[in-house]
Amino acid sequence: MQTKILDYTTQKQEALGQAKSLILSGEVVAIPTETVYGIAANALDGEAVKKIYVAKGRPSDNPLIVHISELSQAQALVKEIPEKVKLMAERFWPGPLTMIMKKSSLVPDITSGGLDTVAVRMPKSQAARDIINACGVPLAAPSANLSGSPSPTNADYVFADMNGRIPLIIDAGPCEIGVESTVISFTGEKPRLLRPGGVTFEQITELIGETELDDAVLNKLVDGAVASSPGMKYKHYAPKASITVVKGTLEEFVRFVQGRDCFVLCFEGEEKHFKNAVSYGRADNALSQANRLFNALRELDEKGADTVYARCPETSGIGLAVYNRLIRSAGFNIISL
């Protein structure tokens, strides 16, 4: 299969037309969003959604997020919309927030990975909203990487993973946030944060009160445990290099890596201390880290890094999302100095 790239800024009408015609004929298309690039298909067409799993090599029990452009589209996908979901939607949609509710029979089982719940998000990216609007159907879209690899935050990285596997990539430049959406479930007694993202835990608890933090956000799932979010049990965001997250001050870190044959994943401005360094944002700015993390992981592979020691981010605000992705990319290899 030939994989075509269309630029959303300079070829908007053609991009919208081709995305619509492919998606409505049951094909998949890679689309930009403000979080990361996604591979989209008609969420209500089970055969089309199957092609997403095939293109990514994704296990079929790992459910997809359904993207909408209007609040009215959510109603048909779920049994009911809880009051707290309405509050959250009013405040954070459109935006990097996915909410899980009991699904309606309209949503095929393959879209929800066989669960009786469905994850719904209204993205903020204008290109994503235009594409959903043009199609007139909700779009199931996981990140546009091969299963297990870091998520792509630009069209080149989508192409690197998906060339020959999908017919079309819509390029709208780099993603504004760079890590996937916050995922929160409203199917239990209390709201439960399953995956941190651009909408922070602090913002959520301030708006809707007590919210549980799923164990899998900060820890490796214990063998045999049932994952609240099936994606959490799989290898994730992993580059070819073996990564170790190192907790400690810059000074301790510099001393620790001295004399070791390794690469370092550090913060901007710290590169001068190391022989082989790739940086991921500023130490005091979590959004800049989110912006850079997945690209930095891919750059380490491009440079042929084998062993990597990573500086550890703060875990407040968007930092929690950065930390959550980094420890997974490291296979939970974490040391404290």
Give the distance from CA 329 to its chain's centroid: 13
CA–CA distance, 287 with 198 (Å, rounded to integer):
8
Q: Which 8-state DSSP code applies to residue 83?
A: H
CA–CA distance, 302 with 153 (Å, rounded to integer):
16
Q: In the bound complex, what is the minimum distance in angstroms from residue 252's beta carbon to ligand AMP?
A: 33
Interface residue with Mg ion among 42, 62, 98, 143 (CB under 5 A) is 143
Name the segment binding ligand AMP (CB under 6 A); options: 128-136, 228-236, 284-292, 303-311: 228-236
Site string for ligand AMP, 60-79 (x = CB under 6 A): --xxxx--------------
154 touches Mg ion by CB under 5 A: no
* 24 HSE (CA, 13 A, CB side): 13
Interface residue with ligand AMP among 33, 42, 112, 329 (CB under 6 A) is 112
Query: Cα dist. 119→11, 46, 112 in Å?
Result: 31, 16, 8
Q: Which C-beta is closer to ligand AMP: that of 95 or that of 274?
A: 95
Query: Cα dist. 71→78, 89, 93, 294, 327 in Å?
Result: 12, 8, 9, 30, 34
Name the segment binding Mg ion (CB under 5 A); options: 108-116, 139-147, 200-208, 277-285: 139-147
153 touches Mg ion by CB under 5 A: no
User: In a 3-state reduction of DSSP, which class is residue 197?
Assistant: coil
Q: Which C-beta is closer to ligand AMP: that of 140 or that of 264?
A: 140
Query: Cα dist. 261→269, 307, 309 in Å?
Result: 21, 8, 10
Using CB distances below 5 to 8 A depending on partner kind, what does residue 42 bind out of Mg ion, ligand AMP, none?
none
Q: Which 19-58 positions form the footprint of ligand AMP (CB under 6 A)?
A: none
Q: In the bound complex, what is the minimum distance in angstroms from residue 232's beta carbon to ligand AMP?
A: 6
Q: In the bound complex, what is the minimum distance in angstroms from residue 227's beta carbon to ligand AMP?
A: 7
143 touches ligand AMP by CB under 6 A: yes
181 touches Mg ion by CB under 5 A: no
Task: Report the relative pairing of strands 242-247 and 307-311 from DSSP bridges.
Answer: parallel
* 180 HSE (CA, 13 A, CB side): 23
295 touches ligand AMP by CB under 6 A: no
Name the segment binding ligand AMP (CB under 6 A); options: 114-122, 170-178, 211-219, 276-284: 114-122
Number of H helices, E strands in the chain: 10, 16
Give the distance from CA 213 to its chain's centroid: 18
CB of 290 closer than 8 Å to CB of 198 = yes
Residues found in the chain: 337
Q: Which C-beta is closer to ligand AMP: that of 100 or that of 170?
A: 100
Binding-residue total with Mg ion (CB under 5 A): 1
Residues that bind ligand AMP (CB under 6 A): 62-65, 100, 112, 115, 117-119, 142-143, 180, 183, 194-195, 229-232
Residues that bind Mg ion (CB under 5 A): 143
